[in-house]
Amino acid sequence: MQSLPVGKLRATVLQAFLDQRPVKDPRVVVGPKVGEDAAVIDLGDRYLIATSDPITFATDEIAWYALQVNANDVAVRGARPRWFLATLLLPEGRTTDASIARLFTELHAACEALDVALVGGHTEIAHGLARPVIAGTMLGEVAKDRLVTTGGARVGDAVVLTKGVPLEGAAIIAREREAELLARGVRPAVLSRARGFLKTPGLSVLREAEIACELAEVHAMHDPTEGGIATALHELADAADVGLRIDADRIVVLPEGRELCAAVGVDPLGTIASGALLLTLAPADAGIVIHALAREGIDSHFIGQVVPRAEGVTLVSGSRRAPLPVFARDEITKLFGGA
């Protein structure tokens, strides 16, 4: 039997497994579903938001990555991240008291930066690991009338993208392949800027999600992670049972991301893109949010429109219109044995 490739399980396979065991608890408002970023549980006066995400590609500043990507999954629900649990799996023969101390220092600093409490988890040295792995669980809460889901997009909505892509992918490539990229002629300044994407403009989407939800009725939000912006757009469309018409020229591909992806042979549209935020909302509200984000120094752009499902998910460039590419797994897995 052929083994499966590195990366997330194929969406169709995963959804088939999930459909075999539907959630029976009536308090689960949003349960496990491809494209939905976090579970939603009814606590009576408010919703509890719960998500879990591991850090498996990066080896540098993994605690920071873990906090950011898990907090983002809560933020796109319109919620505030509050509590974090971390499962730390550390490689046998490579872990010391000093390395654990550094990891916990980094973990606490990352929690403090987001005003999140570290409330539990598990730590062990595990056989067979080549590098540390963090699996994080983030909990948050939101008022019932403020909940946002991936599946809330409406026909006629504007599609807005913040910052640009692939922000996280560029940072990982620069940090994990620096020597190789220098040998291929990539300028040190490009690598330095891409490495810095982790903090500037940063992987967090908390601020832009908060601003958007304060100023407008946001119909849907989604956090583009593995599979990049292309996969996130397909997931958003599938979750809402709608189509999308996306303007290729309006998708902001960061110059550093474009150069680094070209250097290692991956497509920036299919490369892990945490740090960007996808929103759909009425066109008039989209203009208000875009201008408000600009005042806060957060770049954002109108990149397309929600259309009826029958029109599909398409990428438009000039007079040419074609289906938006589908990536079976994240492009960055090609750098980690997934080619």
What mean pLDDT value characterizes the chain? Answer: 93
Q: Inform me whether the pLDDT recorded for 339 exceeds 50.
A: no
* Least-confidence region, from 24-38, 107-121, 196-210: 24-38
Tokens linked to 150: 């991936």
Give the residue-averaged pLDDT of 81-85.
98
Asked if residues 322 and 313 have their Cβ atoms less than 8 Å apart, the reply is: no
Q: Which domains does the chain have, with CATH numbers?
A: 11-146 (3.30.1330.10), 150-335 (3.90.650.10)
Q: Inform me whether the pLDDT recorded for 105 exceeds 80.
A: yes
Which percentage of the chain shows pLDDT scores above 70? 99
Q: Which of 280, 276, 277, 259 is nearest to 268 (CA)?
A: 259
Does pTM surpass 0.75? yes
10: pLDDT confidence band, cut at 50, 70 and 90? confident
Query: Across the beta sheet with 80-91, what order do the strands follow?
Result: 28-30, 39-42, 47-55, 133-142, 80-91, 117-126
Give the residue-averaged pLDDT of 253-269.
97
Interstrand relation of 133-142 and 47-55 (parallel, antiparallel or unpaired): antiparallel
Q: 3-class DSSP state for residue 274?
A: strand
DSSP secondary structure, 103-164, as one string: HHHHHHHHHHHHT-EEEEEEEEEETT-SS-EEEEEEEEEE-GGG--BGGG--TT-EEEEES-
- Residue pLDDT, tens place only, 274-313: 999 999 999 999 999 999 999 999 999 999 999 999 999 9
pLDDT at 272: 94
Q: Which of 256, 252, 107, 108 is nearest to 175 (CA)?
A: 256
337: pLDDT confidence band, cut at 50, 70 and 90? low
- Residue pLDDT, tens place only, 126-181: 999 988 999 999 999 999 999 999 999 999 999 999 999 999 999 999 998 999 99
The answer, yes or no, to whether the previous bond of 166 is cis (omega within 30 of 0) is yes
Asked if residues 324 and 315 have their Cβ atoms less than 8 Å apart, the reply is: yes
**Cα–Cα distance measured from residue 223 to residue 321, given in angstroms and rounded to the nearest whole number:** 25
**Cα–Cα distance measured from residue 248 to residue 140, given in angstroms and rounded to the nearest whole number:** 34
How many Cα atoms occupy the beta-carbon half-sphere of 283 within 13 Å?
7
55: pLDDT confidence band, cut at 50, 70 and 90? confident
Q: How many residues does the chain have?
A: 339
The answer, yes or no, to whether the previous bond of 201 is cis (omega within 30 of 0) is yes
